[in-house]
Every structure is written in structure tokens, then in C-alpha cells.
Amino acid sequence: MNEKIAIIGAGLIGRAWAIVFARAGCEVGLYDAAPQALLDCQALLLENISDLAEHGLIEEAPASVLARIRIASSLAEAVQGAALVQENIRETIEAKREIFAALDALCGPETILASSTSWLMASEFSADLAGKGRILVGHPVNPPYLVPLVEIAPAPWTSEAAVQRAHDLYSRAGQTPVLLKKEITGFLLNRIQGAVLNEALNLYAEGYASAADLDKVMKDGLGLRWAFMGPFETIDLNAPGGVIDYAQRYGPTYKNVAKAQLPNEWENAVLLKLEAERRSELSAAELAERTRWRDNRLMALVAHKRNQTN
């Protein structure tokens, strides 16, 4: 790729996006309103890029990938000549409205403006902007240089051309775009992730299992199958007659269980209990090291999956 990409917000996701596009050959302009975030990011970027290279997930020297990521001293400098601006600032509707108003004023009509937002709909922060036809959500999964899914969620007024250009850019950068046909809060992944989290938290809060065992249900159960099959392919293969057979066998029970939902317990007392259990497993001081462990396990899985398909 030879496009210029602008990354606004050099936090966890912004830095990861910078790696995605620099790895694909793009010149990346990286900007953050906090000078310290820009000072910190070079070392963090090199660490992640080096880890990817160690797992064979980057074909060139880490230093040459890093050299394509240029720290910008202003928003205007970052977006200059960009084909795509990927916004990654804090998750509040006020911040998104403010930054997209600034981006819309700075960028030519051909530049796609995409938000990494986890939950907010593009129509909530682009409605009053002249260039709203090129604004959309491009929601990544953390970390996007390992987990390739990007959810493209256009507003009702986003042009088809903008959606196609975003899809093309993400695809050529090595990502796996999916397209929302209409807007919904949280798009697809976070709604599904939320359904699982809500149920796990309810079962934990109501004393049905420990947090450790509920985690095992995913990592030694559902997660194994879901690492290479989605929920629909999984059930299609879980009954001799396929998905209809499965639905006839288990659908009524799923519906009854859904009706008898446990109370939704994102309550402080439950969360403090969960936090205490998690801290007994892993101290707060070990979180950074465990995050690197997670990323290295993900890199090994991604490298293995890539070898399977090559």
C-alpha cells in the first residue's frame, strides 16, 4: 500500500492501528493531544513490532516499519494528504463530536473519516457536518494487528463510495472487514461479547460458579470451537440434520432460558468481588506482563492459522 493514513489518538488502539497500516507499507501520521503519549509511543511501538517480527508476522525489519510512522505535531499535519483518518480518542460522544467537526473542517472530501469507537453510532457524531457522507465507524478488536476484524458501520447518510473505499483500505491493510447493514449501538462484536459477559457476570453474581471456572468455560470450551468457527457454523455441525435440526432439538430450551434471564448484575458489589478474585489470581502489578503473554499467545495462534491456510 502507498496511501497516507492518519491515526488520531496514540493510546492502546491508535498505536495498534499505526502498526497495521505501517506494516502494510503506508506512511502513517500519528497525533495525540497529550505530548507524553507521543513521547511514550515510539518505545511501545517498537516493542510490539519486534514481537510481531519474532513470530514471523512482519516480513521486514522492525525499524523500517517503525520509520513509516511519523509523529505529527498537530492534527492538521497528521491528516495532510491522508486517504483515511482513523480516530482513536476517548469514548465519549462529546469528544467524538468535537474531533469529527475538526477533522471535517481540515480534510478534503476524498478523505474517509473513521472512528474506532466501541459503541457509538456514526449518526450520533456526524449529523451536523458538511462532509458527513464520508464519515463512518471502523470498529477494531484489540489488538487489530493480531485480530483482523473491523466492523464498518456507516450512518444512513454515509455514501456507498465511502463504504467501499474504507472496505478496500482495511482489506488491503490485512484486516477482515464486515459491514453493518444498519446502525445499532455496539455494532456486532460488542453486542455478542456483551451477551456473553452479561450471562457470565450473572452466573458469577448469583453464585453458580467461580470466575476462574467461568473463564474455563470459554477458554477450554466454547473458545476452542469459536477460534475457527462462528456460532452458526458451530450449531450447523452440532446436529445430524444441520441448523434446522439443531433448532428443533434445542431452540425451545434456548428461548425459555432467555425468558428466564437472571438479573443483570454490573453492580459494584459484584464487581468488587470479581476484582478480588481476579487479583488473587494475578496482581495488578502483573497486568502489563500478562498482556504481553496474551499478545504472544495470540501471535502464535495467528501464525499457526496463517500456516494452516498457506
Ligand X SMILES: O=C(O)[C@@H](O)C(=O)[C@H](O)[C@@H](O)CO
In the bound state, the residue with its beta carbon closest to ligand NAI is: 11
In the three-class reduction of DSSP (H, G, I as helix; E, B as strand; rest coil), residue 124 is classed as helix
Is residue 142 a contact residue for ligand X (CB under 6 A)?
A: yes
Q: How far is the CB of 3 from ligand NAI (least distance, A)?
A: 21
Q: How far is the CB of 80 from ligand NAI (least distance, A)?
A: 16
Q: What gap in Å lies between CA 117 and CA 138, rounded to an integer? A: 8
- Binding piece for ligand NAI, criterion CB under 6 A, among 6-14, 197-205, 266-274, 294-302: 6-14
Lay out the site mask for ligand NAI across 81-120 (x = CB under 6 A, - = otherwise).
Answer: -------xxxx---x---x----------------xxx--
Closest-CA residue to 87 (of 18, 176, 148, 143): 18
Is residue 123 a contact residue for ligand X (CB under 6 A)?
A: no
Is residue 45 a contact residue for ligand NAI (CB under 6 A)?
A: no
Residue 307 phi/psi, 5-degree rounding, is -65, -35
Closest-CA residue to 116 (of 194, 173, 190): 190
- Binding piece for ligand X, criterion CB under 6 A, among 41-49, 73-81, 157-165, 186-194: 186-194
In the bound state, the residue with its beta carbon closest to ligand X is: 118
Residue 114 phi/psi, 5-degree rounding, is -120, 140
Q: What gap in Å lies between CA 187 and CA 177, rounded to an integer? A: 13
Is residue 11 a contact residue for ligand NAI (CB under 6 A)?
A: yes
Give the binding-site size for ligand X (rule: CB under 6 A). 6
Residue 50 vs 142, nearer CB to ligand X: 142
Give the binding-site size for ligand NAI (rule: CB under 6 A). 22
Closest-CA residue to 22 (of 86, 101, 74): 86
Concatenate the DSSP letters of all residues of 18-55 into one string: HHHHHHTT-EEEEE-SSHHHHHHHHHHHHHHHHHHHHT
Is residue 159 a contact residue for ligand NAI (CB under 6 A)?
A: no
Angle, in degrees to the nearest 10, between helices 189-205 and 268-281: 90
Binding site for ligand NAI (CB under 6 A): 8-14, 32-34, 37, 88-91, 95, 99, 116-118, 140, 142
Which chain residues interact with ligand X by CB under 6 A? Answer: 118, 141-142, 189-190, 193
